Amino acid sequence: MADMEGLAQAIISGDAKSAVELTQQAIEEGVGPQTVLNEGLVAGMGVIGKRFKANEVYIPEVLISARAMKSAMEVLEPKLAAAGVEPISKALIGTVQGDLHDIGKNLVIMMLKGNGFEVIDAGVDVSPEAFVEKAKDSGVKLIGLSALLTTTMPAMEKTVKTLKEAGVDAKMMVGGAPVTQAYADKISADGYAPDAASAVDLARELAGL
C-alpha cells in the first residue's frame, strides 16, 4: 500500500534510494502524482524546513534531503507532465542571480508542466542578461522568477527592470518564501504566487487562459 508517510520520512532522513522506490511504488499503485508530490515530497521537505529554522538540523542534512527530493522528482516529473496534453502555453522560469535554491522553482515547473504548460528551466543563479537572452531566443510570453533569500530580492527587481528595458514582451510572475504581493507590486511584476498550486492559477491568468 502506498506509503506517503514513509516517503515524507525518506525525504526527512535524506534517503534518496527509499524516496525513489516509494515514489515508484505509489505511482504503480495508482496514487495521483500530485498526491505523491504534496503528501510525500513537499510534506517531508516542509518538516526539514521547520527543523532547519529551529536549528535542529544544519545545511548538510538539508542538502541531503534536497537531493533525495530531487531524485524522487525525477521519477515524478514525467507523470506530472503526462497529465497535460498539448502545451497550453510556454513559460521560462529561473532562480535569480546569486540564489542557488531551486526546490521551490522546480516544484512550480513540475506543477505547470502537470497542468499543460511547456516550461523552459533557466536554472539557478540566472543573471538579468541571461533571462533577456533566453526570453528573446524562446519568444515566451510568460516569465517566472524565484528568490529564496532576502539578499537576492534586489536581483529579482533588477531582472524585471532589465527585461522591460530590453523590450521583452512577456508577463512576469514572481515567488519564493521572502517574496510578497507588496514586493511584486513595488517592482512592477505582473503577479505573485505564494505556492506552486497558486502559481499555476496565476500563470493561466497571465497567459489569458
- The single residue among 12, 36, 81, 196 that binds ligand B1M, judged by CB under 6 A, is 196
- The single residue among 1, 28, 53, 85 that binds ligand B1M, judged by CB under 6 A, is 53
102 in contact with ligand B1M (CB under 6 A): yes
- The single residue among 178, 188, 201, 209 that binds ligand B1M, judged by CB under 6 A, is 178
- The single residue among 110, 134, 176, 187 that binds ligand B1M, judged by CB under 6 A, is 176
Q: Tell me the sheet residues that pair with 117.
A: 89
The least CB distance from residue 191 to ligand B1M, in Å, is 8
- CA dist., res. 116 & res. 85, Å (int): 6
CB atoms within 10 A of CB 164: 14
Span near ligand B1M by CB under 6 A; candidates 51-59, 72-80, 129-137, 160-168: 51-59
Query: Cβ distance 163 to 143 under 8 Å?
Result: yes
Span near ligand B1M by CB under 6 A; candidates 3-11, 78-86, 112-120, 148-156: 148-156
62 in contact with ligand B1M (CB under 6 A): yes
Among candidate residues 173, 184, 109, 104, the one with its CA nearest the CA of residue 141: 173
How many residues bind ligand B1M (CB under 6 A)? The answer is 37
- CA dist., res. 39 & res. 97, Å (int): 31
The DSSP line for 91-110 is EEEEEETT----HHHHHHHH
Query: Cβ distance 115 to 160 under 8 Å?
Result: no
- CA dist., res. 26 & res. 22, Å (int): 6
- The single residue among 72, 168, 175, 187 that binds ligand B1M, judged by CB under 6 A, is 175
Contacts with ligand B1M by CB under 6 A lie at 42, 45, 49, 52-53, 59, 62-63, 66, 93, 98-105, 107-108, 144-146, 148-151, 173-178, 193, 195-196, 199
